[in-house]
Each structure stands twice: as C-alpha cells, then as structure tokens.
Amino acid sequence: EDKVVQSPLSLVVHEGDTVTLNCSYEVTNFRSLLWYKQEKKAPTFLFMLTSSGIEKKSGRLSSILDKKELFSILNITATQTGDSAIYLCAPDSWGKFQFGAGTQVVVTP
C-alpha cells in the first residue's frame, strides 16, 4: 500500500530560525515529488523534484530528494511570519499525486 509520511506534524519557531521538514514515501511507479504551501485556501506550488541529490532553491526555501532512501527535505531559512502555513509533499504515482498529511509551521514574531 502506498504511503506518504510527513514529519513533524507541527512545529512552532521564532522568526529567523531555520526549519527542516521531512517527507518519506513509498509509492508505486514514482515519477516526481512536489512540495506545496497551503495557507487558508488551495495549495501553492513550491518545488518539483525528479532527480536525487540536486537541490532546488527559491529564495529562503530549498528542497532535495533522495530516491534511494525515499525521502525529501524542505528547508526554510531565516523564517518569517509569512512562512506560517501547512507544507504538503506529494509524490507523483502513476501521474496522480498522493498528499501527505502536511506539516503545520507556525512562525512567531
């Protein structure tokens, strides 16, 4: 059975801290893994990862995929209150995304 596990489920940090979010997966016919940020409405796209070991960066966010160990990490450095959200990972399996339960990040001033 396919499985996507995100950890931690939630965390609270102070502005300026660095956070590391984990996503482990076991899915059939894996093609890629996506990260999304969800605030109050629908998720917004962050990254798509297809190759192991190649870090993708966008501003203070970065992500990397390990296809051998079946996990991905999303890092947020110098966090800001605007980073408060739920972060979802979604491996692409047979062309469909299976979302993890998400990690809720709360950044306090």
Partner 1 sequence: GAVVSQHPSWVICKSGTSVKIECRSLDFQATTMFWYRQFPKQSLMLMATSNEGSKATYEQGVEKDKFLINHASLTLSTLTVTSAHPEDSSFYICSARVPTSAIYEQYFGPGTRLTVT
Region of residue 31 (left: phi > 0; alpha: psi -120 to 50; beta: else): alpha
Q: How far apart are CB 16 and partner 1 at their closest, in Å? A: 28
The whole-angstrom separation of Cα 88 and Cα 35 is 6
For position 71 contacting partner 1 by CB under 8 A, the verdict is no
Q: How far apart are CB 34 and partner 1 at their closest, in Å? A: 8
Of 72, 100, 105, 107, the one binding partner 1 (CB under 8 A) is 100
Of 3, 31, 57, 60, the one binding partner 1 (CB under 8 A) is 31
Residue 49 in tokens: 């990862």
Binding window for partner 1 (CB under 8 A); candidates: 42-50, 57-65, 67-75, 77-85: 42-50
Nearer to partner 1, 13 or 48 (CB): 48
13, 22, 23, 10: which is closest to 78 by C-alpha? Answer: 13
Cα–Cα distances (Å) from 31 to 45, 84, 85, 93, in that order, read 17, 29, 26, 6
The whole-angstrom separation of Cα 96 and Cα 68 is 21
For position 59 contacting partner 1 by CB under 8 A, the verdict is no
**Chain positions contacting partner 1, by CB under 8 A:** 31-32, 34, 36, 41-45, 48, 50, 88, 92, 95-102
